[in-house]
Amino acid sequence: MPYKQVFVRTYPSSAVGSRDLGDLLELLPDGRLNIRLAATPEVIDIGVHESIQSTVVMAGDQPFQEVETPDKRFRLAIETFLHQDVTEFWLIHTDKANGKFKRLKLNTEWIKERHALPRVAVSPHGSFFLADDSGTVRLYGAAHMVDMGAFQVAHPNTENRIIALAVSTDESLIAGLSSWKDIVLYSVMDRRVAFVRQIKDSVGWYDPGQAHILVTGNADAIVTVGLSQKGGAEANLSVNAFRFVPLNAALSAANR
């Protein structure tokens, strides 16, 4: 799925005002993107045909150690076990209707604090669970913990972290954003990465808890917002938009 960057702009952190970054972006009924800045909102056309946006299921640096499906039947939690001075992390899946449970071991192991803690989330309609396993997202069917694939967003054994995960309305796509500004779009049905790109802007690595990503209902566009204070005392806000380009159009442009 080829995407072209159609918008990139930075703002001072004061432009956010009192809003959470998750509330900064709004798709208007006509498909334009409204950047809800504190002073004067900025409205841009990013080529969206369907003004439905994804749901963020994991953001920031919150622990996300336990989740349930919307109907409250299936539960997934992370438990730790100490084995030979190494802390292991296990997913514990419970069917609350019959009390049955399953468990799966994650790859993350806590050795001298090299890793971030793994986290879990659930898709908006409860079809599958997501586990952040040292930067790799693992998908499991909510009812029986069937393996539904995996994809990498961040890098293990580094300071890179997954800082935002969003699931499309029909649960067919997952968009991930790392603190090192990597975007990954994953197709759940095809079990493959559909798009990957590192954001190029003038700010530093995004801060945990200070980023957001959305993908529109029909994947016309991907939009990110991130805040960085690593360049100094004055924080910088970055907004980026990528628009889907049909393959024939992309090939024509490349051959010009």
The torsion angle over the Cα atoms of residues 69, 135, 204 and 47, rounded to 10 degrees, is -50
- List of residues 6+ apart from 50 with CB closer than 8 A: 31, 216, 217, 218, 220
Q: What is the pLDDT of residue 13?
A: 85
Q: What is the pLDDT of residue 61?
A: 65
Mean pLDDT, 10 residues at a time, the chain of 256 residues: 90 86 89 90 90 88 87 96 86 96 89 70 97 96 96 89 94 95 96 95 88 89 89 76 77 49
Output the CA angle 62-193-189, nearest 5 degrees. 95
Rounded Cα distance between 63 and 59, Å, is: 10
Is residue 54 within 8 Å of 109, Cβ to Cβ?
no
Query: What count of Cα atoms within 13 Å lies in the side-chain half-sphere of residue 105?
Result: 7
- Relative to beta strand 221-228, strand 211-215 is antiparallel
Rounded Cα distance between 53 and 200, Å, is: 23
Q: Residue 218's closest CA among 200, 198, 199, 243?
A: 243
Q: Residue 154's closest CA among 122, 118, 186, 180?
A: 180
3-class DSSP assignment, residue 126: coil
Rounded Cα distance between 19 and 197, Å, is: 27
Q: What is the pLDDT of residue 232?
A: 55
3-class DSSP assignment, residue 34: strand
Q: What is the pLDDT of residue 234?
A: 65
Rounded Cα distance between 118 and 107, Å, is: 9
